[in-house]
Each structure stands twice: as structure tokens, then as C-alpha cells.
Amino acid sequence: MKKYLLIFICVFAGGYIPLRAQVIVEETITTDTIDIFARAEERAQEKKSPRLAMFGNLLIPGLGHQYIGRNNRAFTYLATESLLIFGMVFSEGYSRKMYRNSRSYAWRYANTTCTREPENEYWKIIGNKHFLSSDEYNNVMELNAEYDEKYVEENERWYWEHEDYQKEYRGIRQNATRFHIVSSFFLGAMILNRVISFIDVRIASKDETIRGTRSAVDVQPHYSLADKEVGVSVSADF
């Protein structure tokens, strides 16, 4: 009897007193930065042509260096070319002016009315110290049997009023010739400047890989689960 009573009391107590249990669920969260807009492909990089750079320098020294990004070299060659062009134009222009002045001088003091170009052989002959007049020159041509070389037209006849005038005339033409020679040197220097710049830009093109510069802006939004932050990443290439 006591045994059954003890079992009853235990069952009653178990039903009256609720059993309580605690369940703990832990959640593991892995955080990372998510790239929403990934680049589809890399931007194409255009390699600049050494041949095009060399061809540019043959046209205008420094143009090829400007093309590959060597701005200091480009300025040096272009400035040199500008000075050479100025020197050539000035020298040749001054030479032609002096030749014209010598012709005007002869019109006044050699009593000639010839209108041939100042560079014509005629103007060299009348400056020859052995021929103060066209008669003296024609006599020599007859002695040498060079009749076709004689000046027989009226406007081609000359005679110097004094040998000092003829000497002054020769001096004017000699100075004109000197400036003409100087202009030729400037022309040669222009060719040399092109050759040097041509070789230099070729060497510069081989020393390094030259890439084209292309402006681009890249915007990439991102979201961080750990910090619960939203941001935008911006990069630019110029």
C-alpha cells in the first residue's frame, strides 16, 4: 500500500511542477565585401606605333616625341627647327635683297639698263675688274673667238664711271653670296635635325612600352554585412 502511495505522489508532483528546458541556437555569420558591378573585361590598351612617331619627326622634328609623350624632347626639337627656319628665311631673304640692290647700283654707276634677274651671269661679268666696260669685254671675246658670248644689245652695254664704283659693286654681291651660302647651311642643319630626331624617337620607342592614355571612370558600389555599411568605390584613370 505504501509503495503505491509513493508512486502516486511522484506522478502528481511531476505533473504539477512543469519541467523547463533551455535551448541555445548560435548563428554564425560570415561577413565580406560584395562587388555588385564587376568589370566585364579590361580596357584595351593601345600600343603607340614607333613607325608613326618616326614618320612624324620626318615631317616636323618633335612631332613624334609629342606623340609618344616625350614633351621636353618635343619642345627641344621643335624650337631648334623654328630657329633654323627663321635663320634660313632671313639669310635667303637678305641675300636676294642685296642682289637686287647690286643691280640698282649698277643701273646708276655702270650706266646699264639691263633687266635680267640679279642672279644672272651678266651681273657677275660686269663686276669683273678686268672689264670696266662692255667694249673691253667684247674685244676679249672676239680675240678668243667666242662671238656668241658678246653683249651687243643696247640695254646690255655698260661702262663704269670709276673703278671704285665697280669695287663697291663687287662687295655688295659678295655679301649677297655669303648670305646665300649661310641659308644653305641652315637648310642642311634642318635636314640633320630631322635625322637626329628620327633616330632619337626610334630609340625612345624601343626603351619602354608606350601605352595609350585613355580616360575612364569606374564606379563600384559595395555592402558590408559586418558593419552594416553601404558605400561606393570610385576610381579614375586619366
Judge whether 228 lies within some domain.
yes
Predicted confidence (pLDDT) at residue 217 exceeds the cutoff of 80: no
Judge whether 8 lies within some domain.
no
Using one digit for the tens of pLDDT, what is the confidence trace for 82-93?
999 999 999 999
Q: Rounded to an integer, what distance in angstroms lies between the CA atom of residue 192 and that of residue 74?
A: 16
Judge whether 16 lies within some domain.
no
Using one digit for the tens of pLDDT, what is the confidence trace for 117-155?
988 999 999 999 999 999 999 999 999 989 899 998 999
Amino acid at 227: D
Judge whether 231 lies within some domain.
yes
Residues 6+ apart with CB under 8 A from 24: none
Judge whether 62 lies within some domain.
yes
Judge whether 210 lies within some domain.
yes
Judge whether 58 lies within some domain.
yes
Looking at per-residue confidence, does 210 or 48 come out higher? 48
Judge whether 12 lies within some domain.
no
Give the Å distances, CA to CA, from 231 to 21, 29, 225. 44, 20, 12
C-alpha cell at 180: 646665300
Total number of domains constituting the chain: 1
Quote the domain boundaries for residue 123: 50-128+162-237
